[in-house]
Structure 1
Amino acid sequence: MSAGQLRVAEAVGMLAGYGLDAVFGDPRRWHPVAGFGTAAAALERRVYAPGRAAGAGFAAVAVGAPVLAGAALAGLTRRRPVLRAVAVAAATWTVLGARTLRAEAHTMAGALERGDIPAARGRLGHLCGRDPSTLDEPELARATVESVAENTSDAVVAPLFWGAVAGLPGLLGYRAANTLDAMVGHRSPRYARFGTAAARLDDVLNLVPSRLTAALTVALAPLAGGDPGRALRVWLRDGHRHPSPNAGQCESSMAGALGIRLGGRNVYFGRSETRPHLGDGAPPLAPDIARAARLSGAVGLAAATLAATYRLTTALRAHRRRTTPHPATTQPGTTHTGTTRFATVARPARAAGRARGTR
């Protein structure tokens, strides 16, 4: 089975998985990511120690296991493109959270539009870890828009990016790393050192996806009634002002695209942080949440298209390598027409080429 055929299957699988998430969202029961979180929590209880070395070992095992599982699944399907497509579709559906993210945003917007602040405060925990007890409509809306912006990268663009780059191991490994960051990567007395490795790994894995998210947000700003020029200007000016090397990219581009201002004082349970303002407009209100959700959906669709296109491009390159004759392997006196018919005398070289083409 050629590498090109498998990569075509992976492109089809990623699009199918994106479609499954768009239609069904996260499974209500038996979600694999929730199961991974339970297993990771059990592992943490066994290996925890208040030091970075223990945290690095924990992250290596907790992320390495899904990566190896993805590699094993890729190996089992290396001669079965249909099964590879099914496996990639299932993995993509598992690791994406696009529909659920937008649904939570619309639920929050509806509560705020009705003036039901208690209901909105009750829903905020589905999006972020801030203390909602004292937040009013603008602060609830700001927390929601910021969460939509950041999670468009974390839960949509980044999984697709790593699926395009590394196939099944990339899909599963990224989601494992991102889940660990949410579990132990935050600042707290327990995880101040233990969670460092998980937090840094998540930062590294999101360096490119966050900037891709920002670029797509800028390009697609008109779909939310925004101006790409303004969005680009705010992104380039404010993207680095956030404490996170990645969240600021997504939030600043979203602020510029919507013409609003994000950032300010965030109160978490037991601590508070004051972050620089991003953007030039007024603080967001309920209607801005719906605009952010619409823009997030467009960015996700564009990212899925790009991921599948990249995989198809690698398939085309693999096909060309397979069918292009190499001068050193062509028999003297033989001829070929085009690039698909030629004679070779180096069967081991062909075998090696096929081995390199499988995952």
Structure 2
Amino acid sequence: MMLELSWAWWGVLAEPDRAGVVLLACVPALAIAIDRLLGEPPVRWHPVVWMGRWLAWAGERLAPNAEESALLPQWRIFWMAAFSWCGAAAFVFSVSWLIQSWVMTQPFWLAALALSLLLKPLLSWAMLHDEVLSVERELAQSLKAGQTQLKRLVSRDVEALSAEGVRESAIESLAENLNDSVVAPLFWFVLLGLPGAALFRFANTADAMWGYPGARNGRDWQWAGKWAARADDVLGWVPARITALLICVWGGLRGCNRLPMEACRTPSPNGGWPMAAMALVLGIRLSKPGVYALNESARLPGPADTLRACAIGSRTVLVAALLSCGVLLVVLT
């Protein structure tokens, strides 16, 4: 049987086949299984790496250096970057839609397998989980080793961090990227299919590379990165709160009545939600020196808290995947 869907991702099957519908609905779970079994694809075949390379190339031409920043009008910098972002986002969405449209003309078992393989590079949990555990293992050897390993996860200066500070940063990264790398891509996949997941990953990567409030690496991102930062805020708004809710539920609901208040302590409208949820359910403080402190009166994290955070994250990923499958089953039936 060939799957013939309407133009919409959630279109009705022209010739409904129960087995085909169930297999398509299982794509999120299959993608998570592939992530755990096979890990990340080679760099040269990784679509997020391709996005990052284009963003790096374009960023060098859009973000002015110190001399150019004083001469160019702010509105020009903003709109040039905004139009570049929109053009690239439209390209990513269109290519993903064309690929998905072709995949949907294949036999249902092949379509489900292909979509799972295509969705996998747009989400990443196994690598994040293992990297955070590696920080804890290296920290057990020495503070310097833990700081060096942490550099693979965060962009902040790690040299002045204590062992507890290294642990805080690792757990914060785990919580925030639980949304950015898993829940949000699944959320947009359910809504818009492969193009939705690809669009979110592009927006999130653009925010990570362009969305700085000031100077970085000799370039002024104050206006060049503003559109990218706001676009990521919009696309991640609902998923971030879903992630926080799932962390609270699977972490035992400890202190989660304080979640909205704690989440608002961070500058990010989204990142604070999963981080605050993780801090509350673990009963620990998570902070960025001079910027914010979540669950401030709680104890500092210990080695066992890193393991617990990873376990909560794994349960959250499993439930998010199963919920995505359930919603797709309802939509495609």
Q: Decide: shared fold, TM above 0.5.
A: yes
Contact 2:240–2:271, Cα closer than 8 Å, also in 1: yes
Does 2:55 align with 1:40?
yes
Query: In structure 2, which of residues 238, 244, 250 is the aligned counterpart of residue 208 of structure 1?
Result: 238
Equivalences for residues 13-52 of structure 1 within 5 A:
13-30=27-44, 31-48=46-63, 51-52=77-78
Distance in 1 between residues matched to 2:306 and 2:185, nearest whole Å: 23
Does 2:183 align with 1:157?
yes
Equivalences for residues 219-234 of structure 1 within 5 A:
219-221=249-251, 227-228=252-253, 230-234=254-258
Distance in 1 between residues matched to 2:243 and 2:328, nearest whole Å: 19
Q: How far is the alpha carbon of 1:136 from its aligned partner?
A: 1.1
Query: In structure 1, which of residues 89, 101, 114 is the aligned counterpart of residue 128 of structure 2?
Result: 101
Q: How far is the alpha carbon of 1:29 from its aligned partner?
A: 3.4
Tell me which amino acid in the other structure corresponds to 1:311. Answer: L
Contact 2:285–2:293, Cα closer than 8 Å, also in 1: no
Contact 2:279–2:294, Cα closer than 8 Å, also in 1: no
**More divergent stretch after superposition (61-70 vs 48-57):** 48-57
Equivalences for residues 209-358 of structure 1 within 5 A:
209-221=239-251, 227-228=252-253, 230-265=254-289, 273-278=290-295, 280-316=297-333
Q: How many pairs does the alignment contain?
A: 302
Equivalences for residues 125-136 of structure 1 within 5 A:
125-136=151-162
Match for residue 225 of structure 2? 195
Contact 1:13–1:87, Cα closer than 8 Å, also in 2: no
Tell me which amino acid in the other structure corresponds to 1:141. Answer: R
Query: In structure 2, which of residues 184, 206, 210 is the aligned counterpart of residue 184 of structure 1?
Result: 210
Please tell me the root mean square deviation across aligned C-alpha atoms, in Å: 1.9
Contact 1:124–1:132, Cα closer than 8 Å, also in 2: yes
Match for residue 84 of structure 2? 58
- After TM superposition, the score normalised by the length of structure 2 is 0.85
Tell me which amino acid in the other structure corresponds to 1:212. Answer: I
**More divergent stretch after superposition (256-265 vs 231-240):** 231-240
Distance in 1 between residues matched to 2:35 and 2:26, nearest whole Å: 14
SS at match of 1:187: coil
Distance in 2 between residues matched to 1:40 and 1:277, nearest whole Å: 32
Contact 1:137–1:286, Cα closer than 8 Å, also in 2: no
Q: How far is the alpha carbon of 1:94 from its aligned partner?
A: 0.4
Distance in 1 between residues matched to 2:78 and 2:37, nearest whole Å: 41
Contact 1:112–1:286, Cα closer than 8 Å, also in 2: no
Match for residue 86 of structure 1? 113
Tell me which amino acid in the other structure corresponds to 2:264. Answer: H
Aligned-pair identity in percent equals 29
- After TM superposition, the score normalised by the length of structure 1 is 0.79
Tell me which amino acid in the other structure corresponds to 2:39. Answer: G
Distance in 2 between residues matched to 1:119 and 1:53, nearest whole Å: 43
SS at match of 1:244: coil
**1:229-280 Cα distance to aligned partner (Å, 9 max, x none):** x241231331222211111111111011101011241xxxxxxx42143354
